[in-house]
């Protein structure tokens, strides 16, 4: 993969003036990129920071409550899996809710993007078993615990079978911590994305579960 358009969620977070109880806003940003790219809209690389923060925080309500209840200690596998299930359900709910009506960078309104499928498979496994998926966008969520064995962490990135932003028709990849990537000719896209995800594990954290959300437009 080669990066073709830089983007940093940290630049968005610096502009937030409302309450933001999370360290990141990757889910909301990735949804907007995936949804806009899927329908041929333009992702806003300079979004309203407060709007992003408010919507992301609402999606995180359940998982934040669980973190507070447990004091951030997820060393018990049952607690960790319950936490991922809360996020799984919230992800499904908010993709459908947000996808019912959204706007792109040009204020063009789009409707009827929805969750076509949701899987515990990794993105590579999913693409291998669904080779004729297009047109679709995928939000690739993953969960794990840090090197201390108890602190939960997670992130979400995006994949779309059609180009968007700087691309012109070919599949592309989005990480809110880096930007938009294009794939090399004949590159194993699923493996390339997995290699990218594992860059987050060099500090000893683990990837222990996936939430692969396939989005389509009616």
Q: What percent of the chain has pLDDT over 90?
A: 94
pLDDT above 70 (res 1) = yes
pLDDT value, residue 182: 93
pLDDT value, residue 113: 97
Give the residues across from 138 on adjacent strands: 159, 214
pLDDT value, residue 168: 64
CB 145 within 8 A of CB 206: yes
The two tokens of residue 199 are 């860059």
Looking at the structure, give the CATH architecture of the domain made up of residues 2-217: Alpha-Beta Complex (3.90)
Query: How far is C-alpha 66 from the chain's CA centre?
Result: 20
Q: How far is CA 155 from CA 107, 135, 182, 184, in A?
A: 27, 24, 20, 24
d(CA 123, CA 24): 22
| Boundaries of every domain in the chain | 2-217
Tens of pLDDT, residue by residue over 155-183, are 999 999 987 555 567 899 999 999 999 99
pLDDT value, residue 33: 97
Q: Which region among 132-146, 164-178, 190-204 has the lowest average model confidence (pLDDT)?
A: 164-178
133-157 mean pLDDT:
96
Tens of pLDDT, residue by residue over 87-106, are 999 999 999 999 999 999 99
d(CA 114, CA 117): 9
Q: Which residue has the tokens 């390339």?
A: 192
pLDDT value, residue 164: 58
pLDDT value, residue 170: 87
pLDDT above 90 (res 122) = yes
Dihedral sign, CA of 126, 189, 162, 55? positive
pLDDT value, residue 163: 74
What DSSP line would sit under 48-95, residue for residue? Answer: -HHHHHHHHHHHTHHHHHHHHHHTT---SHHHHHHHHHHHHHHHHHHH
Q: Which region among 23-32, 47-56, 161-170 has the lowest average model confidence (pLDDT)?
A: 161-170
146-155 mean pLDDT:
96
Dihedral sign, CA of 122, 124, 125, 129? positive
The two tokens of residue 111 are 């409707």
pLDDT value, residue 5: 95
């Amino acid at each position: 993969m080669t990066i073709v358009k830089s983007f940093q969620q940290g630049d968005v977070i610096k502009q937030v003036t409302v309450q933001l109880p999370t360290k990141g806003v990757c889910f909301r940003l990735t949804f907007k990129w995936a949804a806009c790219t899927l329908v041929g809209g333009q992702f806003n690389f300079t979004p309203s920071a407060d709007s992003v923060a408010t919507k992301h925080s609402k999606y995180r309500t359940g998982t934040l409550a669980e973190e507070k209840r447990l004091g951030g200690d997820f060393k018990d596998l049952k607690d960790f899996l319950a936490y991922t299930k809360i996020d799984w359900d919230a992800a499904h709910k908010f993709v459908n809710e947000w996808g019912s009506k959204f706007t792109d960078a040009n204020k063009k309104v789009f409707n009827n993007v929805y969750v076509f499928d949701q899987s515990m498979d990794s993105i590579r496994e999913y693409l291998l078993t669904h080779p004729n998926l297009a047109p679709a966008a995928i939000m690739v969520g993953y969960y794990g615990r840090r090197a201390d064995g108890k602190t939960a962490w997670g992130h979400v990135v995006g994949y779309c079978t059609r180009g968007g932003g700087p691309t012109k028709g070919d599949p592309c990849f989005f990480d809110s911590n880096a930007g938009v990537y294009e794939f090399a000719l004949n590159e194993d896209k699923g493996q390339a994305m997995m290699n990218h995800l594992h860059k987050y594990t060099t500090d000893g954290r683990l990837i222990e579960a996936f939430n692969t959300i396939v989005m389509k437009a009616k």
